[in-house]
């Protein structure tokens, strides 16, 4: 089992998509990349902590390849948008990969270079070592599952999830 951390804007979207991937054992919403210890959502949402909304992805590398996780990362958000994803604006919504070992860094940089060919604008995704990860408040965990009728889930997450399931049907967990 390995862990890697992704920021693709709002962590509610990332959490639900990565939870649907075969080989992913757990996904936890949280904060990373900043300097404030044990930040709260209210602090992070100001954009003054340096933290981004991220997800911790625990995956079985013998079931899902890191390259597949990275491909999903680069396709579920706009990695060319600096500190903004849709209506979410601020450094807390930046595109970021926080790696936990040298192999993850090498592969992240390789996949970023490959994906650059798909975009006219430069990819602004940060690729940095993880220093600390702070789990977000409990009400942020499993947000989509617990709040399927919430407006953001209906308008933003549902379309992303549908697009993801169509594009990556070979990687999606099979329903039991």
The residue from 10, 13, 118, 153 that is catalytic is: 10
Bridge partner residues of 54 (DSSP)? 30
Distances (CA, A) of 59 to 19, 40, 99, 115: 10, 26, 13, 22
Helices 158-167 and 66-75 pack at an angle, to 10 degrees, of: 130
Annotation says 10 is catalytic:
yes
Count of beta carbons in the 10 Å neighbourhood of residue 158: 14
Asked if 160 and 20 touch (Cβ cutoff 8 Å), the reply is no
d(CA 162, CA 171): 14
d(CA 31, CA 132): 8
- Catalytic positions, please? 10
């Amino acid at each position: 089992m390995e862990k890697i951390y992704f920021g693709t804007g709002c962590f509610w979207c990332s959490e639900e998509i990565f939870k649907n991937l075969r080989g992913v054992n757990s996904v936890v919403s949280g904060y990373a990349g900043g300097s404030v210890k044990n930040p709260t959502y209210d602090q992070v949402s100001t954009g003054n902590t340096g933290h981004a909304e991220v997800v911790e992805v625990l995956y079985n590398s013998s079931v899902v390849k890191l390259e597949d996780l990275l491909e999903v990362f680069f396709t579920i958000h706009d990695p060319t948008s600096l500190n903004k994803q849709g209506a979410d604006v601020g450094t807390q919504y930046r595109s970021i990969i926080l790696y936990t070992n040298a192999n993850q860094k090498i592969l992240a940089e390789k996949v970023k270079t490959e994906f650059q060919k798909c975009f006219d604008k430069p990819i602004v995704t940060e690729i940095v070592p993880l220093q600390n990860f702070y789990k977000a408040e409990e009400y942020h965990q499993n947000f989509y599952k617990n709040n399927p009728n919430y407006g953001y889930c209906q308008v933003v997450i549902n379309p992303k999830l549908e697009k993801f399931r169509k594009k990556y049907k070979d990687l999606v967990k099979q329903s039991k």
